[in-house]
Amino acid sequence: MAVRISGKEVSEKIRRQLKSEVVNMRSLGIIPGLAVIIVGDDPASKVYVRNKELACQEVGIRSEIHRLPAHITQEQLNHLIGQLNGREDVHGILVQMPLPPHLDELEVINNIHPDKDVDAFHPINVGKIMIGDYRFLPCTPAGIMELIHHTKVEIAGKNCVVIGRSNIVGKPMSMLMLHENATVTICHSKTRDLAKICSRADILIAAVGKAGFVTADMVKPGAIVIDVGMNRDGEGKLCGDVDFPSVEPVAGYITPVPGGVGPMTITMLLKNTVTAAKNL
């Protein structure tokens, strides 16, 4: 039976460390500040932004939320980002995605100053990750690395399979595992023999977006299984990409949903904001 990796526990430990760092910074007159921009009223985005605000409060980061109407123009949004780029009390800027379709997400990302890009979505930060010279890591892959390190299992030389090739999770995740000397395979919707490839993984990372996609026959006995999925089942219950009941008896370690990768993502955003405040 797999050991469950508790993202909640690992997250709490890191938040305690961040909290004491922020106390020290505040005593030196530095108050880490995060500006979050939300456009429109997508219900899921509203919940995410509220959770970010609460998490900031918990560790002593000053947060400001800019709530903009869905009909805002690209120029107005660019103007706000420009103002935040120029403010000394704002160390991190996050524009909650997705944006309404008339707004260009790439242009928005490009407009955020790379030193304030706490999502690590800017091409400069993406490039830095590629060459292993980074200050910020995208929050979800960074959180996953913390969870894998928490198991104390050696990564070097292991077969790591990442299912999903998104810019936010799959691609940076693969790069981080490569930096730690894993042999990395990236699978996607066109991959042939996906189940066979997955079943050779010592570390299997599922970022597919399909409930119950990873089944027991795809998992090597003893493997670390990381579930990045955030899906709703037929009854509206939150569930991951991994068929937890069948995989748990086969895997060596497994992250639950909820309570696995999810809590780590916001914690890594807090960490990036503190890092940004230290370096300005």
> What per-residue string of b and e applies to 13-22 under the rule 16 or more CB within 10 Å gives b?
ebbeebeebb
Residue 95 contacts ligand GUN per CB under 6 A = yes
Report the distance separating Cα 42 and Cα 36, nearest Å: 15
Is 94 or 145 the residue whose CB approaches ligand GUN more closely?
94
Give the shortest CB-26-to-ligand GUN separation in angstroms.
26
Catalytic one among 117, 119, 202, 241?
119
Instruction: Please confirm, yes or no, whether 117 is among the known catalytic residues.
Output: no
Task: Count how many Cα atoms sit within 13 Å of the Cα of residue 270 in the half-sphere of its side chain.
Answer: 30
3-state secondary structure of 74: helix
State which of residues 65, 97, 178, 216 lies at the interface with ligand GUN (CB under 6 A): 97
Report the distance separating Cα 58 and Cα 48, nearest Å: 15
Catalytic one among 52, 116, 158, 171?
52
CB 102 within 8 A of CB 108: no
Is 140 or 199 the residue whose CB approaches ligand GUN more closely?
140
Element (H, E) at 232: strand 231-232
Residue 96 contacts ligand GUN per CB under 6 A = yes
Residue 84 contacts ligand GUN per CB under 6 A = no
Give the shortest CB-139-to-ligand GUN separation in angstroms.
5
Residue closest to ligand GUN (Cβ): 97
Three-class SS of 36-49: EEEECCCHHHHHHH
Q: If we measure between CA atoms, which residue out of 114, 109, 96 comes closest to residue 53? A: 96
Among the listed ranges 58-66, 90-98, 226-234, 237-245, the one in contact with ligand GUN (CB under 6 A) is 90-98
How many residues sit close enough to ligand GUN to count as binding (CB under 6 A)? 6
Residue 103 contacts ligand GUN per CB under 6 A = no
Supply the DSSP symbol for 221.
T
Report the distance separating Cα 164 and Cα 249, nearest Å: 24
Among the listed ranges 49-57, 91-99, 224-232, 256-264, the one in contact with ligand GUN (CB under 6 A) is 91-99
Residue 94 contacts ligand GUN per CB under 6 A = yes
Q: Could you give the string, one character per residue 114-143, with x where binding to ligand GUN holds by CB under 6 A and - elsewhere? A: -----x-------------------x----
CB 206 within 8 A of CB 228: yes
Residues sharing a CB contact under 8 Å with residue 14, sequence separation 6 or more, in sequence order? 146, 267, 271
Joined together, the tokens standing for residue 166 give 């998104």
Supply the DSSP symbol for 242.
B
Give the shortest CB-102-to-ligand GUN separation in angstroms.
18
Among the listed ranges 20-28, 89-97, 141-149, 187-195, the one in contact with ligand GUN (CB under 6 A) is 89-97
Is 115 or 119 the residue whose CB approaches ligand GUN more closely?
119
Instruction: Please confirm, yes or no, whether 119 is among the known catalytic residues.
Output: yes
Q: Annotated catalytic sites, by residue?
A: 52, 96, 119
> Where does this chain bind ligand GUN (CB under 6 A)?
94-97, 119, 139
